[in-house]
Structure 1
Amino acid sequence: MRTLGLEEEFLIVDPDNGSPLPLAADLLRLEDPGRVDLSAHPTVTLEMHQEQLEVITQPHSSLSGLAAEVLAGRAFADSLARRAGARIAALATSPIAVSPHATSNDRYGVLLERFALTAREQLTCGCHVHVSVDSDEEGVAVLDRIRSWLAPLIALSANSPFWNGTDSGYASFRTQAWNRWSTAGPSEVFGSAQAYQTLMSDLSGTGVVINPDFDARISARHPTVEIRVSDVCLDPRDTVMIAALVRALVETAAREWEAGQAPDMVPAMILRQGTFMASRWGIHGHLLHPLTHRPDTAGRVISALYDHVRDALEEAGDAAYVWESLQRILGSGTGATRQRQAYERSARLADVVIDAIGVTHEEPTDRLPPGDGLVAVPALPRAGEPAREDELGLLTA
């Protein structure tokens, strides 16, 4: 079983007016270290701006173990924020207009000097999924074979409709802001670990890139591939589902490589259009189909994603949870949907943040993966099989 882990980034917000608060360093600079045993909790670290905290999980083999740590990490970060009268919210961008305060360290200082406004405005919160690989060669083979399947993850995790106090018109405006970095977005097929490392060296030689911001990359610190396209999810159930899909994508791609199946050589510029479609409309519009690279309904694209990774999901014991989560999201919407609904009720962006605080910290233990005994669900038909309405339900909508 491949292990998987998460990095979730959160906003530190005022629970009354929703404004981001530059408190990260203060929250981690405990006046009395004895009051909190940091070693007994998920890792909490600084990010580029003081209005953010990042929570990093340990590697997990089971989805249930990961889910438990996701909840624990959110709760622990929130407990630190509460000490300063603040809260933690899983929002990928701030609905309230803000001028972020930079974190003071050498790396961030270089980024801020080099990338200017792009870096200064980059108050965005993502969810990065790490999945173990056996070698860089396997890792690069995985990167080459998952690239067409990443845009649907943007649609499923979309949680950033507001930017600088206005509705951006996007489901995931974080994706638009993030893609201002010089290396962000889909990559071309690398072909080998040596070719990947050569490109990394050449990029470093330009004097611009510190660490490439590809949609997916080989981790510089861990024996993992790191998939970086997702918004931080408002609902922790969605976070866990995204992680399960990513692990299944990695496992499926590794099997394709072992079987000698060549990667899809679609140009990165075409994949970038899929990124735009997912960012713009999320699950409420057409997406670029990963097999045809033509527009198709979100339901059929998500169905194709599930079908592509179903064997890996079933073998990991994750299929039922992912199935139920996809049905829920396609029926009720993503975090972006929830944010817009909150705004429609009161026309106050502060209420969007206040609502998000509540959802961030819900602990629906009966709605997260149990340790065992997952209930079986009807399987989607294989590619080429006729779809049956009673099985596919919302996935064919």
Structure 2
Amino acid sequence: MGVEEEYLLVTPEGRPTAVAPTVLWHAAQEDSAEPTSPDEPGGDLEKEFKREQVETSTHPRTDLGELLDEIRAGRERTSAFARLAGAEIAALGTAPQEVESTVVPDKRAQEIRARFAMTAKDQLTCGCHVHVEVADDEEGVVILDHLRRWTPVLLALSANSPAWQGGHSGYASYRSQVWGRWPTAGPTAPFGDAAGYHRVIEELLATETILDDGMVYFDARLSARYPTVEVRVADVCLDAADAALQAALVRGLAETAVRGDSDLPQPRAELLRAATWRAAHSGLSGNLVRPTTGTPAPAADVVAELVRHVGKALADAGDLEWVQRHVATVLRRGNGAIQQQAWRAEGADDDEVVRRAIARTTAPH
């Protein structure tokens, strides 16, 4: 499994700043001095759609503790390069301030900006993507069809974007609402098998609505780059350990799917879309839609149901105790959205929220 994280680039005072090219230049100097193996994916610092953000990734890991260590190291490394450009990084799903973001000087990105207009203009959002290795596309689709009902719970755990363009959005994850404007974003119907999955992609491309298969923005998809399932529903997490929790739960879902440990009926995509909206709206602060019944229940109960669902897989991987302990921590202190709102209650303004997020992004524990 591996984790990709997107971070906001901000000034030390807490304002978004368009310095991604400079940050990436500094990273490239180190990489040229100490080249890594091209055969091993991950570990890179890469551009994103906007110049006010960058993306980092881990190497593939089997041990959860090693993955968490690398997530933290990646944040520290990215922070160091940002400081060389006079900036800091903040693991926030959206910037709280009103900001005019800028598209990177890349031909494909500029074409997306021109074609998708306001949707592209507003896309200064930061997510967390989890990859889990699969044997082949058939196994990957088994996993996709199994975990789709649980993606709203993953979103609720990660929700970290309550503010938008200088105001409170009324959502725990407004990033997911902005991201959902893309034509392929969001939950999907079951694919059935690999042929069914690839047929959907071919039909989407045939509409000429999206540029290429890199614009398949499903909440969970087969990766176009790696032999993995990529779960893309989460906000970037304020705390590094919360990102590791996402990875552990996704791997648990994948293993549970491959074992055939569940025969629950598939929810319709319309119901899954409603459950995803509800998770984005209330996060961990209210009710979620229970994936097994389609009825509302307190968020803590639904999260506990997810942990029970993947409990055997977590135990076999040696992750169960850590996941149970960290889930209890998240439910006690709240996800990023709850923490941001607590800072607001203490009197923090937009810039102060970002400054506190800077400190939390690279906190050692």
- TM-score w.r.t. length of structure 1: 0.87
Per-residue CA deviations over 1:93-136 (Å, capped at 9, x if unaligned) read: 00111111101112212211221110111000000000001110
Q: Please list the CA deviations of residues 244-273 of structure 1 after superposition, one character each: whole Å capped at 9, or x if unmatched.
A: 0011011111111xx7x6563211110011
Q: Aligned ranges for residues 290-329 of structure 1 at < 5 Å?
A: 290-329=291-330
- Please say if 1:24 is aligned against 2:20: yes
Show the counterpart of 1:216.
220
- 1:116 and 1:333 map into 2 onto residues whose CA distance is 35
CA distance in 2, matches of 1:112, 1:334: 32
Within 2, Cα distance between the matches of 1:251 and 1:339? Answer: 34
Aligned to 2:12: 15
- Name 1:271's counterpart in structure 2: 272
1:35 Cα deviation from its structure 2 partner:
9.4
Partners of 2:191 and 2:197 within 8 A in 1: yes
Could you say which structure has the larger radius of gyration?
1
Number of the residue aligned with 1:254: 258
Displacement, 1:36? 7.7
Deviation string, structure 1 residues 154-173 (Cα, Å, up to 9, x no partner): 11001000100111111110
Q: Which residue of 1 aligns with 2:243?
A: 239
What one-letter code is carried by the residue in structure 2 that aligns with 1:28? L
The answer to whether the Cα contact below 8 Å between 1:151 and 1:275 also exists between their aligned partners in 2 is: yes
Letter in 2 for 1:355: R
% identical equivalent positions: 43
Structure 1 residue 39, shift from structure 2 partner: 3.7
Give the SS at the match of 1:19.
coil
Cα distance, 1:249–1:34 mapped onto 2, change above 3 Å:
closer
SS at match of 1:116: helix
Q: Specify the code of the residue in structure 2 equivalent to 1:232.
A: V
Question: Deviations along 1:198-247, whole A, 9 cap, x unmatched?
Answer: 11111001111223111100001110000000000001111111110011
Q: Which runs of 5+ in 1 are unaligned?
A: 365-397
* Structure 2 partner of 1:383: none
1:322-354 deviations in whole A, cap 9, x for unaligned?
A: 101111111111111111111222241111000
> 1:127·1:230 contact (CA, 8 Å) conserved in 2?
yes
3-state secondary structure, aligned to 2:135: coil
Q: How is 1:357-396 mapped onto 2 (pairs within 5 angstroms)?
A: 357-364=358-365
Counterpart for residue 165 of structure 1: 166
Q: Which amino acid aligns with 1:19?
A: R
Q: Is the 8 A contact 1:44 1:53 kept in 2?
A: yes
Separation of aligned partners in 1, 2:237 and 2:327: 14
Q: 292-301 vs 105-114, which deviates more?
A: 105-114
Q: Report the AA paired with residue 22 of structure 1.
A: A
Q: Cα deviation per residue 1:158-196 (whole Å; 9 max; x = unaligned)?
A: 100010011111111001111111111110011110111
Distance 1:38 1:52, change over 3 A: farther
CA distance 1:38–1:20, shift in 2 (3 Å): farther
- Counterpart position of 2:52: 51
- Identify the residue that residue 145 of structure 2 maps to in structure 1: 144
Q: 1:31 to 1:72 in 2, by over 3 A?
A: closer
1:46 & 1:254 partners in 2: Cα distance?
A: 34
Over 3 Å counting, the alpha-carbon distance change for 1:34 and 1:9 in structure 2 is closer
- Residues 171 and 336 in structure 1, CA contact (< 8 A), matched pair in contact too: yes
**Structure 2: gaps spanning 5 or more residues:** 37-41
Instruction: State the SS of the aligned residue for 1:88.
Output: strand
Q: Which secondary structure does the structure 1 equivalent of 2:203 belong to?
A: helix
Q: Select between 65-74 and 337-346 the one with higher mean Cα deviation.
A: 337-346
Residue 5 in structure 1 maps to residue 6 in structure 2: no
CA distance in 2: counterparts of 1:166 and 1:33, whole angstroms: 39
Moved more, 165-174 or 202-211: 202-211
Equivalent position of 1:382 in the other structure: none
Q: Where do residues 338-353 of structure 1 align in structure 2 (5 Å cutoff)?
A: 338-353=339-354
Worse-matched range after superposition: 110-119 or 166-175:
110-119
Q: In 1, distance between residues paired with 2:138 and 2:128?
A: 25
Stretches (4+) displaced over 6 A: none
- Is the contact made by 2:27 and 2:45 (CA closer than 8 Å) also made in structure 1? no
Using the alignment, how far apart are the partners of 2:339 and 2:30 within structure 1?
Answer: 39
